[in-house]
Each structure stands twice: as structure tokens, then as C-alpha cells.
Structure 1
């Protein structure tokens, strides 16, 4: 697969979640590499890119079952009950990122019960402030809209989307955070130097 010089173009095929380190060279367009590989807080990157015009819109927070892919990432059974939090991360009033966080109910015990009630606070900011936080490898994907499991309010989106996800641990308890970049987010329009950390 050849490297894409024009990031308005998309790769000729989609691919599902895989460790970023195993994605073949030149698969990811240059403008996307930093956004997908950064191990810092995406929340902070978006705050910087929007010049502080950032907001979180909660779509839903419910108990449900994980998808097969989510269960595999968390190393839990497909029928394990989880708490799902779906939000839009807005930059300059536009939906830039769809974020889906999956937390086994066993994670939401003790002091971590507060994660059920964070409302419109950005989860990323809370994770990166927690001294017990550890993060697993970053996985990347170029997903069809269907595979991205977009909520109904984003059903008008039909194009493939770049995404990344990681398993985080707080007090050694896992949660999975998936971040799907939406069409209104244009990586080539953002500041070129946002302090990426790899």
C-alpha cells in the first residue's frame, strides 16, 4: 500500500483493530500518524487544537454487553456486563471525535464507582490525572461506519473513519477507550506541533 500524500484521500481498504506497531509501513497517511500514535491525552490535544473551544456531549451511559472485539481487548467474556459511556468530543462547536468507553462492572467498585457519574467531564482528563493509571498498547483501525458502531445521531456518516483504542487500568482494573475521528476533524488543519508523545 502506498503512502498517501493527499490526506483528503483514503486508503483503498479498511482494516479492523490491530496494534499500531504491527500496521504495515505507509498504510497510515502522514497527517494521521501523530494523532493515532500519541500516547498522551487526546483530550488535551483537542483542547489545544480548538484553542480551548472544546466540549463534551454525552450521548448515553448505560449497562450493556461488550462487542466481541471489545470483549477480546478487555480479555473478558462476551456476556460480561459492562458500563458503556458514549460521548462526542466537540471542537469549535463541531463533532470531532466519537468516544466509546467500556468498563466491566467489576472495575466500577471501591473508589472507582465515581466513573459512573462523571457526566460531561472528559474521561481522558480524569485518567491522565490518576497516579495509578497505566495504558496498554495503542491499537489503530480504519473502519467502515458500520464497524465503528456509531450511535444513531451519527447515522448520516457513511465514509470510513480512522480510530484508535487502548486498554487503560486504574488500580489495575481495566477499561477500554475507543476514539473514532469524525469527518469534521481535519488533521491537516490542526496545529503541526501539539507536543505529541510516543
Structure 2
């Protein structure tokens, strides 16, 4: 569980001189399926690696984002999205148990299937505005071995299916940022 919370906010609230590269901004603010975009970026060399999946209490910051009046149990799922055999994105999803009923019950057993592929296949899906954050090792939000000493960029948004909220955050890892700079237009 994160020890201190990143400061999630709209990209527009971050001073221009403190924002990431334009290429990273494009990834952070894209409202489409990150899974689909990563599959395309990796020419299909994509996989989901499950880090952990537990029933637990989300951190206070996540409870607030989910509109919980008090902490309640949720499925907390953490995965690494790998492209071309490298860890590109750390994703943390908070699925309140109250949301995992009816047709959404099967999300408890998502395993190594990408959550985004399911979400974006749902015609009634709605999504909140995207908030971004700079994330450091001190936040303990991403496993330390994936962070290094760099500041990482992440994004977070709420998804609603049948008016049931799910919170998804995605943090772009050093290997992804490095390959982004390799593919800059010339």
C-alpha cells in the first residue's frame, strides 16, 4: 500500500516548465485504451504480469477519489504491462467490492488479462477526466525495483460501468520513457 500519496491533478495545473516531454504528455492525456496503444507500440509483443491481487482497504486518497464516505474493502490489483519484454507501465486498479456484483463479478478473476481490454469493450463505459502526478520512490506507490532514482509520470482516472466506480492508475516506467525518446519524430 502506498505510504504517501502522489499529488494527482490535471496536467493544466502543472507549470509548463515542470511538465514532461510532449511525447509523454500525449500518452498521459490520451483518453483511449492504454492497452490497445501499448499493443500497437510493441507490435503485439505485449503481456500483463500480475504483481499482486488482494482484498484490502484502499489508501485514503483512493477512497476519496472513489467517493467512499469511509474506507471499504476493495479488490486491489497491481500489474506490470510489458512491451517488447520490458516493464513499461505499472498499473494499480481499485475495484470496490460493492462494484463487483452482477455482470462485473468476473473482474475478481481477471488474472493476467488486461483490464483495459475489458473496460473499453463496454459500450456504456464512462470515464472521468484524467489526473496526472509525478511519482518518486518515496511515494512507495510503485515497487522500488521498478522506479530507480527517477521521477516517473503517472495518470489516474475513474471508470464507471453501470454507475459502479473503478479507479485505475498507470505509471510509465523508465524503460517506456527511454523507448519514447528513441522514437521521437526527426
TM-score for both structures, normalised by structure 1:
0.83
The one of 117, 133, 143 equivalent to 1:141 is: 133
Query: What's the counterpart of residue 182 of structure 2?
Result: 189
The one of 107, 112, 117 equivalent to 1:125 is: 117
Deviations 1:93-118 (A, max 9, x none): 01000000001110001110010011
Instruction: Determine the C-alpha separation between the residues in 1 that align with 2:129 and 2:137.
Output: 24
Query: What's the counterpart of residue 84 of structure 1?
Result: 76
Query: What's the counterpart of residue 106 of structure 1?
Result: 98
Deviations 1:33-69 (A, max 9, x none): 1011100011111111111100000111110111121
Query: How far off its partner does 1:20 sit?
Result: 2.8
Q: Secondary structure at the match of 1:132?
A: coil
Q: Taking structure 1 as reference, are residues 38 and 160 closer, same or farther at Cα in structure 2, changes over 3 Å only?
A: same
State the aligned residue count. Answer: 177
Deviations 1:146-175 (A, max 9, x none): 3251236x3662321100010000111000
Instruction: Determine the C-alpha separation between the residues in 2 that align with 1:145 and 1:51.
Output: 30
Q: Does 1:176 align with 2:159?
A: no
- RMSD across aligned positions (CA): 1.8
* Consecutive unaligned residues in structure 1, runs of 5 or more: 1-14, 193-198
Query: What's the counterpart of residue 40 of structure 2?
Result: 48
Q: Secondary structure at the match of 2:174?
A: coil
Q: Does 1:37 align with 2:29?
A: yes
Contact 2:46/2:84 (CA < 8 Å) preserved in 1?
yes
Q: Secondary structure at the match of 1:16?
A: coil
Query: What's the counterpart of residue 7 of structure 1?
Result: none
Contact 1:138/1:166 (CA < 8 Å) preserved in 2?
yes
TM-score for both structures, normalised by structure 2:
0.88
Instruction: Determine the C-alpha separation between the residues in 2 that align with 1:58 and 1:77.
Output: 29
